[in-house]
Amino acid sequence: MQDVRIAPEAAIELEEAAVWYENEQAGLGARLLDAFERAVQLLREPNAPLTPVEGMAGELRAKKLILHKFPFSIIVKELGNCLVVVSLAHHSRKPGYWRARADP
């Protein structure tokens, strides 16, 4: 099982998104948090279904996992034996805005 860490910026994005969804509909923020936690559990598996990130951000060898039922991708960077979640990237935000976070 692989170690997964959540970068502070990604934790803030998750918290802000959960609050926004909860304000839109009661219980929806909690469902986002559950979907994220399930995705993190999946990331811990040896054959997690990660795909390379496209474009300039992909040059950093970042990978993504699309969050189930929400318009987000979890962006990860492998550091040694650990996966670091660098962003919870909304699909309608500017692609690669999180790039500086993944640059060593």
Element containing residue 99 per DSSP (H, E)? helix 99-102
Kindly state whether residue 100 falls inside one of the protein's structural domains. no
Cα separations in angstroms, 45 against 34, 52, 66, 80: 17, 17, 16, 16
Residue 32 has pLDDT above 80, yes or no: yes
> Strand 3-6 relative to strand 72-79: parallel, antiparallel, unpaired?
unpaired
Residue 13 falls within a domain, yes or no?
Answer: yes
What is this structure's pTM? Answer: 0.88
Q: What pLDDT sits at residue 55?
A: 76
Does 99 fall in a domain?
no
CATH code at position 55: 3.30.2310.20
Does the pLDDT value for residue 104 go beyond 60? no
Is 47 within the bounds of a domain?
Answer: yes
- On whether residue 103 sits in a domain, the answer given is no
Tens-place pLDDT, residues 57-99: 667 788 999 999 999 999 999 888 899 999 999 988 776 666 6
Helices of type H across 3-98: 8-24, 28-43, 55-58
91: β partners:
none
pLDDT for the residue 81 = 86
Domain that holds residue 73: 3-91
Average pLDDT rounded to a whole number, residues 31-53: 94
